[in-house]
Structure 1
């Protein structure tokens, strides 16, 4: 086992900072009906071994890889420097030496720790090194997103890039050019948002649904909401047979206070 694999990734070293535990979000399960989920296939992630492209700073957390070029990532060396790794085949993710751990500093800035347990820093000469034990201002990076592209801004106002002459990781230029365009990839599990095609008025049980439709269409008289008092079982039957809207219209028409009913 290499020295790199023996390094245990720890927590972000920041004085005065307290680690906040993540709260798990529990989704409510509806017993009335099953929602149909649509799975969106990320073809770009599949081509990169399941590592997907981040698009916001809040996504830059946990295990990440910084990509320059086509399926090539910056690689940590045991001397504290970084170079561009070898190109990967389609469907292959980054190598262990190319995986970093990202930590959030604030809503704009992040820090990166290599597998050797050191933080990425921009030196005064523009070299990017991984030799810091803790995070100071020089170990902070700001992902800049614009027009679907991303560049990493250092504390000294220069952008991370790969030197085309020796493939070293540097931060020399104050303007973004082709060499400064990067991609941060993450392997974190994403919560895919299901497209909810159900109208707002049809959310809830049938009693609530009828109330929602009344509130939407009925002209209130004396600020009173007039709701049909008949059994809602006929609504259940109408829903199963596919004529719920017609039945709701019929029930509202009996109240004689609707804009679209007699």
Structure 2
């Protein structure tokens, strides 16, 4: 029987049947992640809009209106430059260097090596060699908008009569709304990997997690009836998932809860 053991066994092949080619398994390639394109930055030559205090550092440009930037003059004054075309970034004289002073204030240095300062008459000048209280500015973010609070307690704006840069008003209106743009390298804007259950408001998030984890023996969904303001507080404190788990455990229908 040893001769038969040496014969290679295979499937039965009938006369006239052509051997089938083996299909080669193709290696699965990871699909590239979708990347968000910052259309606004592209229209400004790659200079993207700062949305947090930590974004305001290094080379920045201060934009009022659309594609118009604050320009430094050689006499230590500032004016609003001419509008740029789409896809063009700021000119060299429109680029400043931002230095964070603390967690809320920042100082700006012009291309002439001088710090921006608010004078007693509210005029913004660039003639200081050091930073004092008058050379510090506080970026104020609210409702997706930004305004710069100067050391005199007034917000920075552009005088419509002569395009001079001033700080004269105690309250911020449309004239005081500014965009600070930066060219600093940032992480690629990949789509945030947000779990499907966390899409929507907090009320919907709780429902999503209940649907995922709760057993429906009687086909009835049970939602904790306690005040949902606790979820908002838990999210700010970074314990949202723990709070959701506690709320589900009170319904005694969760396979992950005691």
> Paired residue for 2:133?
137
Alignment counterpart, residue 176 of structure 1, candidates 172, 180, 203? 172
Distance 1:83 1:197, change over 3 A: closer
On the 8 A contact 1:38/1:195 being kept in 2, the answer is no
Mean Cα deviation higher: 68-77 or 172-181: 172-181
* Local SS of the residue matching 1:121: strand
> Paired residue for 1:46?
42
What TM-score, normalized to structure 1? 0.62
How far apart in 1 are the matches of 2:53 and 2:194? 29
Alignment counterpart, residue 160 of structure 1, candidates 139, 145, 156? 156
How far apart in 1 are the matches of 2:164 and 2:195? 53
Pairing 1:195-234 to 2, within 5 Å after superposition: 195-196=192-193
User: Shift of the alpha carbon at 1:37?
Assistant: 2.9
Alignment counterpart, residue 189 of structure 1, candidates 171, 185, 190? 185
Distance 1:194 1:85, change over 3 A: same
User: Shift of the alpha carbon at 1:197?
Assistant: 5.8
* Local SS of the residue matching 1:92: coil
> Paired residue for 1:58?
54
1:150 aligned to 2:146? yes
> Paired residue for 1:111?
107
Deviation by residue 1:186-219 (Cα, 9 ceiling, x = unmatched): 01111135533679xxxxxxxxxxxxxxxx99xx
On the 8 A contact 2:80/2:163 being kept in 1, the answer is yes
Which runs of no fewer than 5 residues in structure 1 stay unpaired?
1-32, 200-215, 218-258
> Paired residue for 2:13?
none
Larger Rg: 2
How far apart in 2 are the matches of 1:76 and 1:119? 11
User: Shift of the alpha carbon at 1:34?
Assistant: 5.7
Distance 1:133 1:44, change over 3 A: same
How far apart in 1 are the matches of 2:119 and 2:176? 17
> Paired residue for 1:97?
93
Deviation by residue 1:213-240 (Cα, 9 ceiling, x = unmatched): xxx99xxxxxxxxxxxxxxxxxxxxxxx
Deviation by residue 1:172-199 (Cα, 9 ceiling, x = unmatched): 1111122111100001111135533679
> Paired residue for 1:73?
69
Number of matched pairs:
173
Question: CA-atom RMSD, angstroms?
Answer: 2.4
What TM-score, normalized to structure 2? 0.63
* Local SS of the residue matching 1:83: strand
* Local SS of the residue matching 1:97: helix
Which runs of no fewer than 5 residues in structure 2 stay unpaired?
1-28, 197-212, 215-254
Distance 1:197 1:181, change over 3 A: closer
How far apart in 1 are the matches of 2:122 and 2:194? 51
